[in-house]
Structures are given as C-alpha cells and as structure tokens.
Amino acid sequence: MPGKVNPTQCEAMVMVCIQVLSEDSAIAFAGSQGNFELNAMRPVIINNFLHAATILTDACARLRQYCIEGARLNRDRIDDDVNRSLMLVTALSPVIGYDRASAIAHKADDEGTTLREAALASGDVTPEDFDRIADPAAMVGPVERRG
C-alpha cells in the first residue's frame, strides 16, 4: 500500500505484548527450576522482567502519543450507525411481542430503512413510544457526553 509505514503503532503494541508474554513464560519456567529454596535462575528472571517492563512502558508511551492522543469520535457517524442498527429491536420485543418485532426488523433490513421507520410503518408503535422504548442511551445506562 503506497505511503504505509510499517509497523503501525497497534501492530507494534501487539508484538511487544507477545514478547512480554513470552518473557513471562520464561520467568515462570525459570522460577520453577529452583531447588532447596535456591534459584540459580535469578539472572534470567531479572533480565526478562526488566526487559518486559521496559519495552511495555515504551510501547504504552508510543501508543498513547501516536495512536490515542488526538483521536476524536465522529459523533454524527456513531449516531447514524446506532440508529440504523437492527439490534434495537430487542427493546421492542417485550412490548409488541417477538413475532411483530421480528417482522419489523426484517422489513427494515429488506427495505434498507431504519428500524424506527419500519416500526412506525407497521403501526405497532407510535413515534413517542418508539423513542421511549428503543433509546440506546437508556439501554446502556448513564453516558457522559463530551463535546
């Protein structure tokens, strides 16, 4: 892919995590090799621990700096995706019944409309009832919204 720089920060973090898990296994195995409360494996334990702590610290700092800082949510896109989600039909099921809710979901999917549009067209719920029942924010609990 033109312009792609390898590895990406996420791929680099995965590689670091694989390395840290490997070093943790080496530490555990070395720790199991001690005899008579003496462990001649201390150098490999210390070396692996210090290396794992160092690379994980560095990788976290780089991931934060180059991947996380400055990332912003596209609220309009998120709202559109949530409103187009057919999963909201689960909230309707206890109110209008499974079969009618299922028919609404299939209608929305077949016609490429929103669940709200299909539900209102069915006549099974009013606009006010749909907005009250199929409210994604209420389904997940209190959500802090930031500008």
Residue 113 CA to residue 136 CA, distance in Å, equals 18
Measured CA to CA in angstroms, residue 94 lies from 84, 97, 140 at distances of 20, 6, 17
Residue 47 CA to residue 37 CA, distance in Å, equals 20
* Per-residue pLDDT band at 136 (split at 50, 70, 90): confident
The type of residue at 101 is A
| Residue range 12-33, pLDDT digits in tens | 999 999 999 999 999 999 999 8
pLDDT of residue 96: 94
35 by Cβ neighbours in 10 Å (0-12 / 13-18 / 19+) ranks as: exposed
Contacts 24+ apart (CB under 8 A), 33-42: none
Least confident of 2-16, 37-51, 113-127: 2-16
